[in-house]
Amino acid sequence: MDMHSTDTGISSPQPREEEETPWLSAKEQQFWRAHLEVARLLDYQLGRELQPHNLASNDYEILVVLSESPERRMRMTDLATATLQSKSRLSHQITRMENAGLVLRQDCPGDRRGLYAHLTELGWETMQKVAPDHVRSVRHHFIDRLTPEQIDAMYAALAPIADHLRALRGRA
Amino acid sequence: MDMHSTDTGISSPQPREEEETPWLSAKEQQFWRAHLEVARLLDYQLGRELQPHNLASNDYEILVVLSESPERRMRMTDLATATLQSKSRLSHQITRMENAGLVLRQDCPGDRRGLYAHLTELGWETMQKVAPDHVRSVRHHFIDRLTPEQIDAMYAALAPIADHLRALRGRA
């Protein structure tokens, strides 16, 4: 147990609580920190490499989700769920993307459950133009730095955790 | 090569570009998607479990970083780097945390390089109170769902990627 060196604040700050709190071991801590760093730094780097396309990384995700939806549209509430965002934050983002001509917000006649976000033709073209660069970024900074065996092993480890967390989130 | 099913928009949307774009294989895609989901859903869940303490997950990170700094303070620009945030976003966050009495912004006399964020006594106590719950969340939703062998293997895979990304970010 490493009680002193940590960036993650989950080694023991108070020895008197040691008995009851299941502090992380040094190895666990090291791993947890590496996981957090990779998740954040990768998000940052991929976002940076989308900037020349005038897209934020959240924007790209919206384009992808809409392009894969029937009629290239989705109810705003479902889009918030799919992208793990709050409705208010998504609303701001869609406004920005609407101003850029990538999506369009529209009522659905006969559906009282509200507003849809539609992918525009420009949004569709943008996604197709950006995707090859994006996959190169994902490969260069992540996938190609792992062996096929590491990818298999990590997928086997992460998939049940994703299922657990998705169920908690209420989207199981 | 899976050209149809993806949530991540990096399978081929345009067969004619197939020759030159190194699209992800079905396995790679599946893994990339699991990585993104775990990163985001875990961040969401840990944040939710900090809410009863009136903290956002970013707030907790600030408390941890400051508590581990000499004199429990850090220059705002260094804090932005350490927490991978833009200066403007950090500034908003510190304002919120200052209003909650957790941190204090102060000039450092004799140091023209600017403003420091200090951890207050309340901030320190809050972190100590929250840490045991937080470590339980991290264990329950992530660490305890992996075997020691998986943790070792994933750390070995992620550490060089974290090094690569940190160097890119200019903090190597």
Over residues B83-100, the pLDDT tens digits come to 888 888 899 999 999 999
Taking 50 as the threshold, does the pLDDT of residue A172 lie above it?
A: no
Among chain B residues, the shortest Cα distance to A63 is held by B9
Mean residue pLDDT across chain B? 88
Nearest Cα residue to A130 out of A46, A45, A72 = A46
- pLDDT, tens only, B135-151: 999 999 999 999 999 99
- Furthest C-alpha separation in chain B: 63
pLDDT at A109: 72
pLDDT reported for residue B12: 54
Does residue B1 surpass a pLDDT of 50?
no
Across the interface, do B141 and A164 touch by the CB < 8 Å criterion? Answer: yes
Give the best residue of B16, B18, B21, B35 to mutate against chain A (max A CB count within 10 A). Answer: B35
The β-bridge partners of B37 are none
CA pair distance A23, B158, nearest whole angstrom: 22
**pLDDT of the residue at B170:** 76
Across the interface, do B34 and A153 touch by the CB < 8 Å criterion?
Answer: no
Concatenated DSSP letters for A54-81? Answer: T--HHHHHHHHHHHTSGGGEEEHHHHHH
Q: Report the percentage of chain B scoring pLDDT > 70.
A: 86
Q: Between these two residues, B43 and A19, which has the higher pLDDT value?
A: B43
Rounded to whole angstroms, how far apart are CA atoms A145 and A140?
7
Least trusted range by pLDDT, from A21-25, A128-132, A168-172, B107-111: A168-172
Nearest residue on chain A to B133, alpha-carbon basis:
A21
**Chain A residues 104-133 with CB within 8 Å of chain B:** 127-128, 131-132
| Strand, helix or coil for residue A18 | coil
pLDDT(A19) > 90: no
Nearest-CA residue of chain A relative to B67?
A9
> What pTM was computed for the model?
0.83
ipTM of the complex: 0.84
Q: What is the pLDDT of residue A58?
A: 87
Confidence of residue B5 (pLDDT cuts 50, 70, 90): very low
Please give the pLDDT value at position B23.
96
Contact: B84, A40; criterion CB under 8 Å: yes
Backbone angles phi, psi at B119, to 5 degrees: -80, 130
Report pLDDT for B107: 84
Among A12, A13, A145, the residue with its CB nearest the CB of B127 is A13
Which chain A residues have a beta carbon less than 8 Å from that of B39?
35, 39, 43
Please give the C-alpha separations between residue B116 and each of A38, A49, A162, B38, B101, in angstroms, as whole numbers: 27, 31, 39, 34, 15
Letter string b/e over residues B24-53, b meaning 16 or more CB atoms within 10 A of that residue's CB: beeebbbbbbbbbbbbbbbbbbbbebbeee
The confidence score (pLDDT) of residue A142 equals: 98
Exposure of B112 by Cβ count < 10 A (0-12 exposed, 13-18 middle, 19+ buried)?
Answer: exposed
Sort out which chain A residues have CB atoms less than 8 A from B45's CB and list them.
165, 168-169
The model's pLDDT over A46-91, given as tens digits with 9 standing for 90+, comes to 999 999 999 988 899 999 999 999 999 999 999 998 888 888 889 9
- High-pLDDT (> 90) share of chain A, %: 74
- Higher pLDDT: A133 or A7? It is A133
Q: Is the pLDDT of residue B110 over 90?
A: no
In the A/B pair of chains, how many CB contacts fall below 8 A? 207
Q: Which of residues 20-59 of B touch A (CB under 8 A)?
A: 20-24, 27-28, 30-32, 34-35, 37-45
How are beta strands B115-119 and B103-107 bridged, if at all? Answer: antiparallel
Answer whether residue A8 shows pLDDT above 70: no
**What is the mean pLDDT of the segment spanning B69-85?**
91
Q: For residue A132, is pLDDT > 70?
A: yes
Which tokens belong to B94? 């510190």
Whether the per-residue pLDDT at B112 is higher than 80: the answer is no
* Alpha-carbon gap, residue B129 to B103, rounded angstroms: 16
Spatial separation of the C-alpha atoms in residues B10 and B30, rounded to whole Å? 11
Angle at A100 between CA A46 and CA B91, to 5 degrees: 55
CB A10 to CB B148 under 8 A? no
The pLDDT of residue B6: 43
DSSP state of A169: T
Query: Per-residue pLDDT for B161 more than 60?
Result: yes
Helix orientation angle between B57-67 and B87-99, rounded to the nearest 10 degrees: 90
Residues belonging to chain A: 172
- Which residues of chain A does B65 touch, with a Cβ-Cβ cutoff of 8 Å? 7
Contact (Cβ atoms closer than 8 angstroms) between residue A117 and residue A74: yes
B84 vs B80: CA distance, rounded Å: 6
User: Measured between CB atoms, does B170 come within 8 Å of chain A?
Assistant: no
Residue from B3, B4, B40 whose CB has the most chain A CBs within 10 Å, to mutate: B40
